[in-house]
Structure 1
Amino acid sequence: MKQADDSRAALCLQFLRDIAVHNNREWFHEHREEYDAARAAFESMVAELIARITVFDPAVQYLGVGDCTYRFYRDTRFSPDKSPYKRHFGAYINAKGKKAFQGGYYFHLEPENCMLAGGSYCLPSDVLRAVRQSVCEQPEEFHAIVGSDPFHTLFPVIGETHVKTVPKGFPKDFPYPEYIRCKDYSCFHPVPESFFTSADWLERSAEVFQVMKPFLDFVNAAIDEAV
């Protein structure tokens, strides 16, 4: 018998579609019960994901859901978009904490923009330089990780943003310039909404994150030495 699909993500996504259309405090307060139900569904998924990642990364076993999730209310002080609520649910499962320079695993639910991602973002210049230097000193080890078929299939691009040329102070003839042109060491795997509504989403997510782990280990080792 086919296992029933997981309805929790569908509940979350429907609420997110609604809040995208009615992103105002009056509608939100009138539909607070729907938000609470969606939030509870998402948090139960996060709890299961933490437990499943612990199987191959025991460092996250002490994290609670609250350590990994964010407020749904947007900080609009410096944004031209004054809508008060986010249009997604996200969880960052990072053994060092959500604000750490070291990288972790990111789980993102958003209509038409679901993903599994991870890595290190917004690194200070000295820490970013340290990671780049580590890549330069161990190019074949890094390439063996990110150039492997499983990793490259899931995460074909390293970094969300890049400088145009090899950074100053690094060899111009470095054999893998794309690895040191990154302005962040992150990776992204977009998935359809049906990925998270399927009955096997948890195992499939764990498989993606397990492929990511050696990349995180490499980057985090460099960051640990720099901070």
Structure 2
Amino acid sequence: MINPTTLEFLKDLAENNERDWFESNRPRYEDARQNLIAFTTDLLAKIHKIDPGVSDSLDPKKCVMRIYRDIRFSKNKTPYKNNFGVSIPSHGSKLGGVEYYLQIQPGKSFIAGGYWMPEAEHLKAIRQEIDYNAADLKKVIDEPSFVKLFGDFRKQEQLKTTPKDYTSDNENIDLLKLKSFVVFHQLKDKEVMSAKAVDEVAALCARIYPLNVFLKNAIS
């Protein structure tokens, strides 16, 4: 489970996002990070049983993302993220791409999956797969219990124009215009702090798994 002290640290960090405070509270950060690594270790073992593409040799320390923000091109110059992110690739060891993603943040935790903002070559391949096999994707995303958990898959950011090589009267144009292919499920603080948190997050990943299979097949 996620310890209450981990959420407390993140809450305090959001209110004191500057280097001097962080350095004076580094032991709290290290404890929180170790909590995330332990949680990720347990979660990886369960997800590997659900999705064999998730390598059993993944290093949980590398899955827990850096808390330091890249502020070089950002107007927001706060040096630290207000959350812990965990990226679990659905194939190989490179973070990003088709993945499961866990965010831990007071009041804003969630589990997600799919492919966020695919690179051009992968985006083209996914659109082609949708054009050829949309029924396979719709079987996943339109299943009532899936919609109840993750909402309407089509209500993500879309192109304002019709993508190249397709026409506006394509029966699946709402899917073809998507810029990302992801789902999210919000997690309450009490849920991530529950003794059953790993099992419950893994169960949600099991529901995401068929979407990730479709996307991996598209780009393989």
Overall identity of the aligned pairs, in %: 29
Matched with 1:48 is 42
| Contact 2:87/2:95 (<8 A) preserved | no
1:22-101 alignment runs, 5 A limit: 22-60=16-54, 61-94=56-89, 95-101=91-97
CA distance in 2, matches of 1:88, 1:59: 27
Equivalent residue for 2:188?
192
TM-score (norm 2): 0.92
Matching residue's letter, 2:133? Q
**AA of the residue aligned to 1:27:** W
SS in 1 for 2:207: helix
Distance 2:94 2:146 in 1: 24
CA-CA distance at 1:88 after TM superposition: 0.3
Contact 1:11 1:41 in 2 (8 A): no
Paired residue for 2:176, among 167, 175, 180? Answer: 180
Q: What pairs up with 1:145-160 in 2 under 5 angstroms?
A: 145-158=140-153, 160=156
Would you say the 8 A contact 2:99–2:113 is kept in 1?
yes
Letter paired with 1:56:
I
Which runs of no fewer than 5 residues in structure 2 stay unpaired? none
| 2:183 aligned with 1:170 | no
Gaps of 5+ in 1: 1-5
Q: Using the alignment, how far apart are the partners of 1:12 and 1:91 within structure 2?
A: 14
Name the count of aligned residue pairs: 217
Structure 1 counterpart of 2:201: 205
CA RMSD of aligned residues (A): 1.7
Length-normalised TM-score, structure 1: 0.89
Give, in angstroms, the shift of residue 87 of structure 1.
Answer: 0.5
Q: Is the CA contact (8 Å cut-off) linking 1:92 and 1:98 kept in structure 2? A: no
Amino acid in the other structure paired with 2:182: S
Task: Identify which range, 154-163 or 136-145, moves more after superposition.
Answer: 154-163
- Whether the aligned pair in 1 keeps the contact of 2:163 and 2:176 (CA below 8 Å) is yes
Which residue of 2 is the match for residue 3 of structure 1?
none
- Letter of the 2:101 partner, please give it: Y
Residue 100 of structure 1, CA deviation: 4.8
Are the equivalent residues in 2 in contact too, given 1:67–1:97 (CA < 8 A)? no
